[in-house]
Structure 1
Amino acid sequence: MKTTLFTIFSLLSLLIFGQVGIGLPANQTPTETLEVNGVFQLHDGNELFLENAGPYMGTSGNSIMMVHNTDTNTLNKFDPGSMPFAAITFIPYHFDNVSAHGLHNYDTKIDASKFYITIGGFFVLKEDGNTSIEMTGSDSHFPLYSARAFVQNGTWRLKFDLNNDRQFDHLVDIYLNVSVYYNNFLTKTNTVKSVNMNGNTSGSTSKPDGAIE
């Protein structure tokens, strides 16, 4: 018991007054207050708390993160720059010379079991770059465009079309702003939020299921 206490107090003293290296080669001197070369393992029921860690002012691309491996119950280093994908990726799609009937089913080849995608914005030009877009039909009781992402045969598809069976009078160029989310980083998901506005233009209701507390 005395030996254990002496070891603990010795380690604490080194942390306060100098540098400690764990698992470093014999010829390597630690350069930080605590420098560890190896894997840190958490036993069942134990937790790790970092007090007053402070804000991180760098970028994820040039940093190493500490992550908890739930399979081995160990702490491991994680380099976001080594991932083949990001937690959220922005992809601008530009479709040239699209049929006058619009874009009905474009296969992005993005795996729907791993990713979730949304269309955040769009604009349309004529194939020659002209902004004067015309279409057939005069029925104004339906929204003009329908832009959505959907899943078919395991991959995400994109659709951009005119409503009510209309079509453009010419080939068009379609620009879609698409956001791709990695499912493993989506810790909260929401059910459909249905709100009856009772004819009003403003209102309030309960927050979504996954909203931050």
Structure 2
Amino acid sequence: MQRKIYITIILFLGIVMNAQSGKVGIKTANPKETLDVNGVTYTNSLYLRNPGEPTMTGGSFLATSENALQLYDPNLESSGLFNYLKLSLTGISGAGVTDYDTKIDADKFLIVVHNYSFKMNDGTTNVALDYGDNGTNDNRQGSPDVVAFKSKGTWHIRARFTDSKLIALTSANPGRTYNNFTIDLYLMAYKRLITKQNINDITSDLGGTNGSSKTVNRPSGF
């Protein structure tokens, strides 16, 4: 009993001494932060001013795992904050992809198309565009339309060229319909920890200028 009392007194004195320096340490003689706990803590209520924000000193993110609040460790977590995904779509027609459902939950992840490529199913890059689907080589092409968008709770992919069809360069008189193209999409999937609010799309008319003198409002949420 006396031993337990001595240990309690020593721990209390250590806390008091550290508190005088503006930092409190539990099971540590050299606290690095205002409260430095070297061990497992338990609480039935926890309030964080800026949850999910990087810390001032360590630049770490907070994440939950196994009902405990801890620093995010990619070697221990079953899923990452940032995930890199290659999506290969084969058997694509000349019209490209209009709406492909990735089945990735839009409430849990943010999907961004990092890069993409159009090629033949045999791996060659002998792919050209027929502007307006007119069958002539007019040295024109539509704008790339490769985006990820949300629909019915999941992320969808659109990968095509506006006003253009994919054609094979190896064909002397290419037909207007093909089904042997491959589209490789390189996606970044960001796991949502905390969503502050939805960010609305922004449209700004520069009025024919270079934009240097244009004044716009700050986007909502930033």
TM over 0.5, yes or no? yes
Which of residues 101, 114, 117 in structure 1 aligns to 2:111? 117
Counterpart CA distance in 2 for 1:142 and 1:157 is 24
* TM-score computed with the length of structure 2 as normaliser: 0.59
> What TM-score does the superposition give when structure 1 sets the normalisation length?
0.61
Q: 1:194 to 1:133 in 2, by over 3 A?
A: same
2:92 aligned with 1:98 = yes
Structure 1 residues 77 and 124, CA, compared in 2 at 3 Å: closer, same or farther? same
Output aligned runs, 1:100-179, within 5 Å.
100-136=94-130, 137=133, 143-164=142-163, 166-169=165-168, 170=178, 171-179=180-188
Q: Specify the SS of the correspondent of 1:146.
A: strand
2-side partners of 1:134 and 1:109: how far apart?
Answer: 30
The aligned counterpart of 1:35 is 38
CA apart distance, 1:40: 4.9
Aligned-residue CA RMSD (Å): 4.2
Report the secondary structure of 2:221's partner residue. coil
3-state SS, counterpart of residue 36 of structure 1: coil
Residue 205 (structure 2) pairs with residue 201 (structure 1): no
Aligned to 1:12: 16
Structure 2: stretches of 5+ with no match in the other structure? 1-8, 32-36, 169-177
| Residues paired across the two proteins, number | 181
Q: 1:109 to 1:8 in 2, by over 3 A?
A: same
Distance 2:100 2:187 in 1: 13
Deviations 1:172-194, CA, capped at 9 Å, x for gaps = 22121212222334435422222
Equivalent-residue separation in structure 1 for 2:45 and 2:121 (angstroms): 60
The CA deviation string for residues 115-163 of structure 1, in whole angstroms up to 9 with x for no partner, is 2212232221222333332233258887333112233443222121232
1:207 Cα shift?
3.3
